[in-house]
Structure formats: structure tokens, C-alpha cells
């Protein structure tokens, strides 16, 4: 039994952006979407190289993003084969979100690092 079932809590009522967060900020999804939103179509191996992700997880995430309509796959049955991934219009609609995050990073991330350094309580690092 999950904690939610036990307590009868409603996570969605508590935080309405959680579904989007699960979608957009799971492992590897952000770097993929960010990279594709910055450049044109990118080959599979090139994504692998730039992000430092292994083929397996990259494939998993790309399939998921394709299913969700955020990324489009173009396959060319050449020899050797070529697969290019491109962001969709729906994917581009994330620009304001990413822009807000990038600005927050520039403005406030240093303050976080400073707070972390001067923190003395429990919890290592």
C-alpha cells in the first residue's frame, strides 16, 4: 500500500504541476529537449556523444518523448542507417519554461551554492 493510499492524500490537488514535471524533468529528458530545442535535427550517435548517455537509456527516453509528441524521429534506411531526432512544435512550446529556468539559474543558483556551503546542520556534503 502506498503512502497516498494510506493517508488518502491527493498529490494532484497538492501540486498541479507535478504531471508536467514528471514528463519534462525525468532523467535525461531535460538535456534531450534542451539540446534539440537549441539545434536542428541531431543524429542518435551525436546525442549519445553530447549528453554522455548510453544508447539504451537514450532510446528509452526518445521513445517516450516521441510518444508524448515532444520529439519527432526521422529514420533513413541507408547503409549505414541514420536516425535523426528533431523537436516538434509542441516541444518548442517549452521555450518559456526553459527560459524561466535558465534565468533563475543565472540569477539565483549562486545563492543556493552559497547557502549550501555555509550550512552546518546534519546531511553531509
Partner DNA sequence: CAGAATCCACTGTGATACTG
Partner DNA sequence: CAGTATCACAGTGGATTCTG
Residues at the contact surface with DNA, assessed by CB under 7 A:
1-3, 6, 26-28, 43-46, 48, 53-57, 59-60, 62-63, 73, 75, 80-84, 122
> What minimum distance in Å lies between the beta carbon of 20 and DNA?
17
Interface mask toward a copy of itself for 81-100; x: CB under 8 A: ---------x--xx-xxxxx
Site for a copy of itself contains 53 (CB under 8 A): yes
What CA–CA distances, in Å, run from 22 to 4, 27, 29, 97? 17, 9, 10, 14
Site for a copy of itself contains 42 (CB under 8 A): no
Nearest CA to 99 out of 34, 39, 36 is that of 34
**Which residues are 83's β-sheet partners?**
75
- Cβ–Cβ < 8 Å for 98, 92: no
- Reduce the DSSP state of residue 87 to 3 states and report it: strand
Site for a copy of itself contains 9 (CB under 8 A): yes
Site for a copy of itself contains 77 (CB under 8 A): no
Amino acid at each position: 500500500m502506498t503512502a497516498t493510499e494510506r493517508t488518502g492524500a491527493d498529490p494532484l490537488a497538492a501540486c498541479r504541476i507535478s504531471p508536467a514535471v514528471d514528463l519534462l524533468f525525468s532523467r535525461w529528458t531535460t538535456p534531450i529537449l534542451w539540446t534539440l530545442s537549441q539545434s536542428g535535427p541531431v543524429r542518435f550517435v551525436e546525442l549519445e556523444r553530447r549528453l554522455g548517455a548510453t544508447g539504451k537509456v537514450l532510446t528509452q527516453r526518445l521513445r517516450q518523448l516521441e510518444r508524448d509528441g515532444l520529439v519527432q524521429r526521422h529514420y533513413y534506411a541507408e547503409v549505414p542507417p541514420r536516425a535523426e531526432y528533431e523537436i516538434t512544435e509542441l516541444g518548442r512550446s517549452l521555450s518559456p519554461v526553459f527560459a524561466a529556468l535558465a534565468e533563475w539559474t543565472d540569477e539565483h543558483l549562486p545563492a543556493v551554492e552559497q547557502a549550501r556551503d555555509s550550512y552546518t546542520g546534519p546531511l553531509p556534503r
